Amino acid sequence: MVFVRITAFIMTAPLFSGRQIPGQFKIGLGVVLTILCAGVIDQPVDSLSLGTTVILILKELLAGIVLGLAAQILFQAVQLAGTIIDLHTGFSMANLFDPTFGTSTQLTGSFKNILAILMLLTTNGHHLLIQGVLASFDWVELQALIPAWSDGRIASFFLECLAQMFMIGFMMAAPIVGTLFIVDFALGIVARTVPQMNIFAIMPPVKILIYFCIYILILPSFFYLLNILFETMFESMASILKIMGG
């Protein structure tokens, strides 16, 4: 049961769930963490029937998935910000394959995702993720059921996480999107006042040049928002543990 919860968390949590990490490594990490955790868990499991054992294993699977998704949903704010920026810049026409999520993504979204992963590793955020799943055994015992699944508290919490994801994603994209909106407005006025100018040939290079200039200026603020994102992500993991353990 300990192995099922830890492995389910690894398969859904940010950084560990990426497809660039081999499946053998994920299973091996789950085995190592299970050995380390099983030695300190003081929760004796009595002899159980086969049906009860299956129910408890399914409960551990769902507990690990819920804990991993609580962090993964908020981490998607970085990808959302990159998608919004590329949609206004014109980079959305060029897609790249992102091995982290196994989907096609835009240029800015992939670049922001790489920066976020490096920031998470630099600040030892992966240690906090592992600490969170190990601490879950203090909140949700192996033989305890989770009544929060039936009263809607977990669903409401995930809706709040989605709202925070959109808010942080829009905050990351707002400076560039707002600047490009002003540029579009100014170029539209130029196109109306000087119809001889081929504005459609000038607009893409101008927007890309302004995009890179603004991006260099606001890059420190992006890391500040990443700090807020990581704090919110770890707080959401603590909150979901309190909900399931309550």
- pLDDT value for 184: 83
- pLDDT value for 98: 58
Helix (H) or strand (E) holding 236: helix 199-245
- pLDDT value for 99: 57
Which burial class, exposed, middle or buried, applies to 79 when counting CB atoms under 10 A from its CB (0-12, 13-18, 19+)?
Answer: buried
Which burial class, exposed, middle or buried, applies to 244 when counting CB atoms under 10 A from its CB (0-12, 13-18, 19+)?
Answer: buried
The answer to pTM > 0.75 is yes
Number of Cα atoms under 13 Å in the Cβ half of residue 5: 24
- pLDDT value for 95: 63
Beta strand 103-106 pairing with 95-98:
antiparallel
Residues in the chain where the model's pLDDT stays below 70: 43-46, 92-105, 147-148, 246
- pLDDT value for 2: 86
Residue 71 CA, chain-centre distance (Å), reads 6
- pLDDT value for 93: 66
Residue partners of 208: CB distance under 8 A and separation at least 6: 89, 90
- pLDDT value for 242: 86
Contact 154, 244 (CB under 8 A): yes
